[in-house]
């Protein structure tokens, strides 16, 4: 009898803070914890859309290997600090924003004059320090959206203005992804996997949104390869709470089925609801002594229990 592979559930989400969360996916078919964990991790780190500063221009500066009058840091230091500014962009096109500051003091990302399309999520990030009370600085910035990492050479080729200094850009809002696989069980099934996936973002996207986008990307990729082939999936093996687990271990006799149907299930070594929901409709039809009337009876009983 062919056993369909059951679909997992997102059992719980443990939000550590606004930028970090652990997702618990269970129960998974044996070996699928590593399969899903590795594929989700790779997509999360490489393919989630985000925004970054890709080029800039400082008033009075013609190249990066120089200094700015009245500013403590040189242009190379300013470049490095700009790469640490995390931004969100609602536009698919490059957006220009400006930073202006006069007088002595620390210049931060919060001094950037944003538009309706651009938001700075870490305004406390230091860009430079003006140490002359009479000095000022003006920086023009270009914010773009993308995926993954863009080298400084690629940014240079795609500069909006040829006199701007290009930056290498990390568009991904996901900073770190860790996962581990543990054993779990449902009823008498003890060879199942539980996946714990921890996602840390930069604040431009929530961990949940990143998780769902990565899953959607994988769905699109695999669907395009599957063609017209569809594989029947067994129902989920249950939720994550104790009540759901208790229902799965309920004996078949407690379903109030007819004696004929109950005996047919027991004779085929199906003794709990868990054993029953792990079978597809095709599997049930193949059971010895199990007819269409019994199948309809079982469907009705499971529907009442919302399985």
Whether residue 115 is found in the same domain as residue 147: yes
pLDDT of residue 1: 37
The answer on pLDDT for 191 being more than 80 is yes
In a domain, residue 266? The reply is: yes
Whether residue 195 is found in the same domain as residue 137: no
Q: Domain end: 170, 189, 211, which one?
A: 170
Query: What whole-number percentage of the chain has pLDDT above 70?
Result: 93
**Contact (CB, 8 A) for 43 and 210:** no
Mean pLDDT (whole number) for 154-159: 84
Total domains present in the chain: 3
Weakest mean pLDDT among 85-89, 152-156, 207-211, 273-277: 273-277
> Whole-number mean pLDDT of the chain?
87
| pLDDT tens for each residue of 197-206 | 999 999 999 9
Query: What whole-number percentage of the chain has pLDDT above 90?
Result: 58
Going by pLDDT thresholds of 50, 70 and 90, the confidence category of residue 238 is low
Whether residue 32 is found in the same domain as residue 181: yes
Does pTM surpass 0.75? no
* Bridge pairing between strands 126-130 and 118-120: unpaired
CATH code at 54? Answer: 2.170.120.12
Mean pLDDT (whole number) for 67-94: 94
The answer on pLDDT for 40 being more than 80 is yes
| pLDDT tens for each residue of 279-296 | 777 778 888 888 888 888
CATH code at 38? Answer: 3.30.1360.10
Domain of residue 188 covers 9-48+174-224
Mean pLDDT (whole number) for 22-48: 94
Whether residue 112 is found in the same domain as residue 260: no
| pLDDT tens for each residue of 7-25 | 888 888 999 999 999 999 9
In a domain, residue 230? The reply is: no
């Amino acid at each position: 009898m062919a056993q369909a592979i059951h679909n997992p559930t997102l059992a719980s989400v443990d939000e550590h803070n606004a930028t970090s969360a652990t997702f618990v996916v269970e129960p998974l078919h044996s070996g699928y914890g590593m399969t899903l964990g590795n594929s989700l991790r790779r997509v999360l780190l490489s393919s989630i859309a985000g925004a970054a500063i890709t080029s800039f221009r400082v008033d009075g500066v013609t190249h990066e290997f120089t200094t700015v009058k009245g500013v403590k840091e040189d242009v190379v230091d300013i470049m490095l600090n700009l790469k640490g500014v995390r931004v969100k962009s609602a536009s698919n096109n490059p957006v220009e924003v400006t930073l202006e500051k006069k007088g002595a003091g620390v210049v931060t990302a919060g001094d950037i004059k944003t538009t309706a399309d651009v938001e700075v999520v870490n305004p406390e990030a230091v860009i430079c320090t003006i140490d002359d009370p009479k000095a000022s600085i003006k920086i023009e910035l270009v914010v773009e959206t993308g995926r993954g990492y863009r080298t400084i050479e690629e940014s240079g080729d795609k500069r909006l203005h040829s006199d701007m200094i290009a930056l290498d850009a990390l568009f991904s809002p996901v900073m770190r992804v860790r996962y581990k696989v543990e054993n779990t069980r449902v009823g008498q099934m003890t060879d199942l996997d539980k996946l714990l996936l921890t996602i840390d973002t930069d604040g431009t996207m929530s961990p949940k949104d990143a998780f769902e986008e990565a899953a959607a990307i994988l769905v699109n990729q695999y669907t395009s390869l599957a063609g017209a082939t569809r594989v029947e999936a067994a129902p989920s093996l249950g939720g994550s709470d104790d009540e759901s687990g208790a229902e799965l271990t309920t004996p078949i006799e407690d379903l109030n089925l007819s004696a004929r149907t109950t005996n047919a299930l027991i004779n085929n070594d199906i003794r709990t609801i868990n054993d029953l929901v792990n079978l597809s409709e095709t599997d049930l039809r193949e059971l010895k002594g199990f007819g269409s009337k019994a199948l309809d009876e079982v469907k009705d009983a499971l529907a009442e229990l919302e399985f």
